[in-house]
Amino acid sequence: MTIALFPGSFDPITNGHIETAKKAAEIFEKVYLVAMTNTSKHYLFSPGERADFARDALKDVANIEVLEKPDEITVDLAHELNAKAIVRGVRNSADFRYEQEIAGINKRLAPDINTILLFSSPENSFVASSMIKELAKFDKDVSQFLPEKAAKALRRKLGNEYAE
Amino acid sequence: MTIALFPGSFDPITNGHIETAKKAAEIFEKVYLVAMTNTSKHYLFSPGERADFARDALKDVANIEVLEKPDEITVDLAHELNAKAIVRGVRNSADFRYEQEIAGINKRLAPDINTILLFSSPENSFVASSMIKELAKFDKDVSQFLPEKAAKALRRKLGNEYAE
Amino acid sequence: MTIALFPGSFDPITNGHIETAKKAAEIFEKVYLVAMTNTSKHYLFSPGERADFARDALKDVANIEVLEKPDEITVDLAHELNAKAIVRGVRNSADFRYEQEIAGINKRLAPDINTILLFSSPENSFVASSMIKELAKFDKDVSQFLPEKAAKALRRKLGNEYAE
Amino acid sequence: MTIALFPGSFDPITNGHIETAKKAAEIFEKVYLVAMTNTSKHYLFSPGERADFARDALKDVANIEVLEKPDEITVDLAHELNAKAIVRGVRNSADFRYEQEIAGINKRLAPDINTILLFSSPENSFVASSMIKELAKFDKDVSQFLPEKAAKALRRKLGNEYAE
Amino acid sequence: MTIALFPGSFDPITNGHIETAKKAAEIFEKVYLVAMTNTSKHYLFSPGERADFARDALKDVANIEVLEKPDEITVDLAHELNAKAIVRGVRNSADFRYEQEIAGINKRLAPDINTILLFSSPENSFVASSMIKELAKFDKDVSQFLPEKAAKALRRKLGNEYAE
Amino acid sequence: MTIALFPGSFDPITNGHIETAKKAAEIFEKVYLVAMTNTSKHYLFSPGERADFARDALKDVANIEVLEKPDEITVDLAHELNAKAIVRGVRNSADFRYEQEIAGINKRLAPDINTILLFSSPENSFVASSMIKELAKFDKDVSQFLPEKAAKALRRKLGNEYAE
């Protein structure tokens, strides 16, 4: 069975992430989408909440399983899950260079694991998570960028700060 | 069975191409490496020669099959071969943008086919085919950049032009 | 009256060019779309044909006028037409750098003329003219990328070369 | 009347911002330069101070009006001011990608508003606000990068921290 | 005597920094590697510790001298040390743009000082300091990315936070 | 003595090339500027003419010597001239990537030779040789972009093609 690992913050999951997960599920027989932790980032939601939004958004895709692994690094998890490939989505050349650095270090740590990149579709190529959060802080509707459960949670968490 | 198509000019195949093909063969159960034609390019070798160099270089990889299809476009070939993914190697952000354009048009022509990118290893990330040919024109040794059969053929075709 | 000049090869005009022209027409009171000549390019169509495709595609936009000026450089034409701004469309950072070089030289030649950039919409951001021509050479349908008259002319000119 | 909105942090306004504002004022009949708030940024000066530095620097340009709107998002303000275009200055391809993301989200929120980019002149193309602040922290003269009132205020606020 | 200044945070020094320092030492008769301070950065180690790790790693290179200058800006230090060139290492185009901005401001402050860039070798081109620290936080071995003394110090400082 | 080699097409030499050569001459005790041949390029001027324009433009810089070497590759020439460094000028990230590829291959061929990059000044950062030639074809004044002798030769060679 061909297995892929899709690691990320997913804080919260966006339509762009969902698109990447579904494309991976068309290519691999099994995909693990895993909410992880980058210690230099400040998170809005807990690993459990982040995994829950993802689970809800992808419940109709049989060969995707959502996990939460805040205390592991990606290549260790890939070995644990017997995943041959780490999957990541890319929107533009800035994403590309960031992914090239992560893949460069992962390859030094685990030469047997390959990173593969999937292009975002054009409509998701110019949408940044940071800007969706900025809109939520001004209590704007973000439902066109996020799955329903995540959109509501984000508005509740950030919205009232600035709303009249 | 998960099937991938690795299309390209391969004029001739380089160590970077071979690396990408072998990584794809670790991820997919079957990989077709296919010498194709971009009408705006001037080719040194015929489709048959290009496929032959690739076949020779990859003869030890059981799940890679080499074909030559100079008269087809990639997405038609992917459908013909029942390939769910088009595989391409990328070295830097200039490659990335070029691949994003090709994948953008391919997605408009065939929404069911995904393009996946594989990173070149660091040592192949700064090697351009055009520069390998320039070295061959000055009759320099190119064997560290190309598989044996392709390196000899390139020196024979270009080498004597400048050699004393 | 605020006047803008939209110069280009338009060989032939694409949906991306049309989008840029219409956006300019929303911002400026008068827009001149002008088919010009870059002597280092090989053109498929004559200046007259290129202007005619554009005229046909933009006939419903009252404040856009199409001209053909193969023998002039852009800043001279801008002065002639009393245009305060040169308008250009950009898809990605490679386009951006190319436009920055043209604008850099134009600013040295005519400090009173400003270049403004308009973003392509996402669906036109990954479509390259060269790839549309490549599809036409393989006799593929290009009507989703070009206005009708230009699409037919391109298939006639390139299509039969490769069609069975 | 053709109206443009030039939104930004302006914390404080630099010679590059002033250049962009003046170019916009050559193209549009009315330009609103508005000090706004990005909640993920830490500001040195209040919205009122930021607007005041800008007003002082642009007092000789009749068709530029400076406002402060810390509680609004850009597209809402553009509709309020009847502005057809959002104007932004760009120095290099990193700026370009950042602006492409903002414009991408703004276009999803308000399809009737266009973002236009104006190139920085070469001498302002390699000057980053963050580095001007770093110089001020070492109590260095920053007057060649900022208008007078802003330069003095920045030295007062940051300078003595490191000065012997 | 040709003298160069290699300024940086070196928090801590990596194999990529060491490579750049040694290349500079092949080109210039004297190289000063100086641990400096960027006030917008949060440092793990003091200037003294940072200089000490560098001194230990470069003790075998006779024409390299390590200093610590947390209270000076680079161009002042270059004048003080009579250095004609500021040396910096670059891995990719994101580094390049960042260095172009620093060099742009330095050239405005000190037209007599030139910045020269040295390429990282391929194996160091995809290694980011931030990611080495992330590995250390997960108590992973970082010895393949850092000189010995720095690697041990980093694991002591960050490692136990996440180790079971 | 510290020696550097500045190789290029110089077809013809531009103010940007001259700026890079003079900066190198401030850093190294001896600089060889050498007109060479890239077989994939079409040249307007012979190696002799190209060297002659450069010699004329740099006659006042004592430690710069101009040569013409159309039949050699750069690293062989560097060894011949005992040059420790290959010097190249860079304007933007596209130049950077191109130079990274050349330096990558040169480093594989000659590990003892380092490539160093010098930034163009802002006013030369957006000037492309191809666009200067395009202006000359339209018989426009190019003297602000090229040294005198080269500017006259370029107008003679290209100018009358388009001049009324």
3-state secondary structure chain F: CCEEEEEECCCCCCHHHHHHHHHHHHHCCEEEEEECCCCCCCCCCCHHHHHHHHHHHCCCCCCEEEEECCCCCHHHHHHHHCCCEEEEEECCHHHHHHHHHHHHHHHHHCCCCEEEEEECCHHHCCCCHHHHHHHHHCCCCCCCCCCHHHHHHHHHHHHHHCCC
Q: Are D156 and D136 in contact (CB under 8 A)?
A: no
- Whether E164 maps to a domain, the answer reads no
CA A121 from centre of chain: 15
Q: Is the pLDDT of residue A163 over 90?
A: no
Q: Does any CB of chain C come closer than 8 Å to the CB of residue B100?
A: yes
Which backbone phi and psi does E89 adopt, to 5 degrees?
-95, 145
The radius of gyration computed from the CA coordinates of chain C, to the nearest angstrom, equals 16
* Residues 39-98 (B) with a CB less than 8 A from some CB of E: 92-93
Q: Sorting pLDDT into bands at 50, 70 and 90, what band is A164?
A: very low
Look at F140 and C109 and tell me if their CB atoms are within 8 Å: yes
CATH number of the domain encompassing residue C71: 3.40.50.620
- Whether C161 maps to a domain, the answer reads no
* Tens-place pLDDT, residues A85-94: 999 999 998 8
Look at D134 and E38 and tell me if their CB atoms are within 8 Å: yes
Q: Which residues of D touch A135 (CB under 8 A)?
A: 73, 105, 109
* Tens-place pLDDT, residues F16-48: 999 999 999 999 999 999 999 988 889 999 999
Positions of B marked catalytic:
17, 41, 91, 129
Q: Which residues of F touch E114 (CB under 8 A)?
A: 23, 26-27, 118
Positions of C marked catalytic:
17, 41, 91, 129
Q: Which two tokens stand for residue A91?
A: 């929107």
- Whether E5 maps to a domain, the answer reads yes
Chains that touch E (3 or more CB pairs under 8 A): A, B, D, F
A90 has which bridge partners? A119
> Is C16 a known ligand-binding residue?
no
- Whether A161 maps to a domain, the answer reads no
Question: Which residue from E minimizes the CA distance to A37?
Answer: E134
Q: Does any CB of chain A come closer than 8 Å to the CB of residue C26?
A: no
For residues F83-97, give the mean pLDDT.
Answer: 94
**Distance of alpha carbon B36 from alpha carbon B97, whole angstroms:** 20
- Whether E163 maps to a domain, the answer reads no
* Out of A111-120, C129-138, C155-164, F57-66, least confident range: C155-164
Catalytic residue among A17, A23, A30, A69: A17
* Tens-place pLDDT, residues F142-153: 999 999 999 999
> Is F48 a known ligand-binding residue?
no
- Whether B76 maps to a domain, the answer reads yes
For residues E126-140, give the mean pLDDT.
Answer: 91
Look at B134 and F94 and tell me if their CB atoms are within 8 Å: no
Range of the domain at F95: 1-156
Q: Are C134 and B40 in contact (CB under 8 A)?
A: yes
Provide the pLDDT for residue D52. 98
> Is F137 a known ligand-binding residue?
no
Q: Please list the ranges in chain D whose pLDDT falls under 70.
A: 160-164
Q: Are E2 and F4 in contact (CB under 8 A)?
A: no
Q: Sorting pLDDT into bands at 50, 70 and 90, what band is B164?
A: very low
**Domain count within chain B:** 1
How is chain A split among helix, strand and coil, in percent rounded to 5? 45, 20, 35
> Is E28 a known ligand-binding residue?
no
DSSP secondary structure, D114-139, as one string:
EEEEEEPPGGGTT--HHHHHHHHHTT
Q: Are E6 and E46 in contact (CB under 8 A)?
A: no
- Whether F161 maps to a domain, the answer reads no
Q: Would residue E97 show up in a list of annotated catalytic residues for this protein?
A: no
| Helix or strand holding residue E83 (H, E) | none
- Whether E161 maps to a domain, the answer reads no
Q: Are A129 and A91 in contact (CB under 8 A)?
A: no
Provide the pLDDT for residue D127. 86
Q: Sorting pLDDT into bands at 50, 70 and 90, what band is F160?
A: low
Q: Does any CB of chain A come closer than 8 Å to the CB of residue B26?
A: yes
CB atoms within 10 A of CB C101: 18
ipTM metric: 0.93
Q: Sorting pLDDT into bands at 50, 70 and 90, what band is F1?
A: confident
Catalytic residue among E22, E84, E91, E152: E91
Q: Which of E27, E29, E104 sits opposite F114 (nearest CB)?
A: E27
Look at F96 and E90 and tell me if their CB atoms are within 8 Å: yes
pTM of the model: 0.93
Q: Which residues of F touch C93 (CB under 8 A)?
A: 93
> Is B89 a known ligand-binding residue?
yes
